[in-house]
Amino acid sequence: MKTAYIISAVRTPIGSFGGQLAMFGATTLGSKAIEGALAVANLEAAAVEEIFMGNVVSANLGQAPARQAALEAGIPTEVPCTTVNKVCSSGMKSIMFAAQAIQLGLSDVIVAGGMESMSNIPYYVPNARWGYKYGGGQFIDGLQRDGLNDAYGHEPMGIYADRTAEKYQISREEQDAFAIQSYQRSAKATEEGKFKDEIIGVAIPQRKGDPVMMTEDEEFRRVQFDKIAGLRPAFSKDGTVTAANASTINDGAAAVVVASEEAIKNYNLTPIARIVSYADAAHEPEWFTTAPALAAPKALKQAGLDIGDMDYFEVNEAFAVVTMAFNKLLDVDPDRVNVHGGAVSLGH
């Protein structure tokens, strides 16, 4: 089996809900990430053989969002494109598909990533097609319906985060402390230029004058630390998950160039990483919070490694309690996890 390499990895800044990136649809943000990934890799669009892009709520985007993003980025029309929806892990699954295609020898150069504009997800009018015969109608929030609510229990995902905190005895104070640390780490990483090489600037048009280049994440600077402890539970009456220790609602896109060893030689590319292994894991939907703690050991086993061999971990902070449960279940040192902050402070 062939080896898959990552040649470049970039992202747009992460915009706040209704913030600076709200004027761009998900596919446009995706196109900017694709363009950026190719530019950093010093690779022409004509070299790309396939595109995988994650996108969760595709309502009102038009057909084939991944293809829209690709064509807007200048990818040739003959390049096949696939949109992947695996909720929070859509972008990661796109990279896995790319790696598999490289390893199987099906392609040599693939761009994979994810894109979302939560600010632009529309409201739905369920009965509008056939008419309202009598009485009032209802708008359904597409963001809530297709993005943030469990499709089976029909409850906000935060309800299950509360249950996770209760099951694993993770207190409100511990979650708040985690959230504060996430914000502090994001701020420190930004100040030290840790994100400089991965963020591609986005030009924001102004009513007057030249566009302003957005080169920094928007969310982490909005925190008010003195308000965190006093926030009410966001989901359950007596819950511990709040707006501060949950991830935020955001806009943005990211992309990587994945290539084979042959492509590296042919195009004189410089890889930044080698993909060693990957894994999926799943169990009851209401316990999605602990699925990462199942996936990580599977990926490590495939690579012939164990937890102790790892220097650092990146675990999605959909809620603070997700990463905290991961640390507890796998006995991971929190100082080695999300060292530059995560979704609680940067955005999700």
User: How is 182-235 classified by DSSP, letter by letter?
Assistant: HHHHHHHHHHTTTTTTTBPPEEE--SSSS-EEE-S-SGGGG--HHHHTTPPPSS
Tell me how far apart the terminal alpha carbons of the chain are, to the nearest angstrom.
34
Which residue stretches of 104-147 are H helix? 142-143
Which pLDDT does position 137 carry in this prediction?
87
Helix (H, G, I), strand (E, B) or coil at 299: helix
CB 241 within 8 A of CB 234: yes
Which pLDDT does position 135 carry in this prediction?
86
Reported confidence tier of residue 134, pLDDT bands at 50, 70, 90: confident
d(CA 84, CA 306): 29
Handedness of CA 7, 13, 14, 18 (dihedral sign): negative
What average pLDDT does this structure show over 216-237? 96
d(CA 243, CA 224): 12
Each residue of 60-118: pLDDT tens digit? Answer: 999 999 999 999 999 999 999 999 999 999 999 999 999 999 999 999 999 999 999 99
Each residue of 231-290: pLDDT tens digit? Answer: 999 999 999 999 999 999 999 999 999 999 999 999 999 999 999 999 999 999 999 999
Reported confidence tier of residue 31, pLDDT bands at 50, 70, 90: very high
CA angle (128, 23, 247) in 5-degree steps:
85
pLDDT tops 90 at residue 218: yes
What average pLDDT does this structure show over 9-38? 99
Q: What is the pTM of this model?
A: 0.96
pLDDT tops 90 at residue 133: no
pLDDT tops 90 at residue 195: yes
pLDDT tops 90 at residue 132: no
> How much is the mean pLDDT over the chain?
97
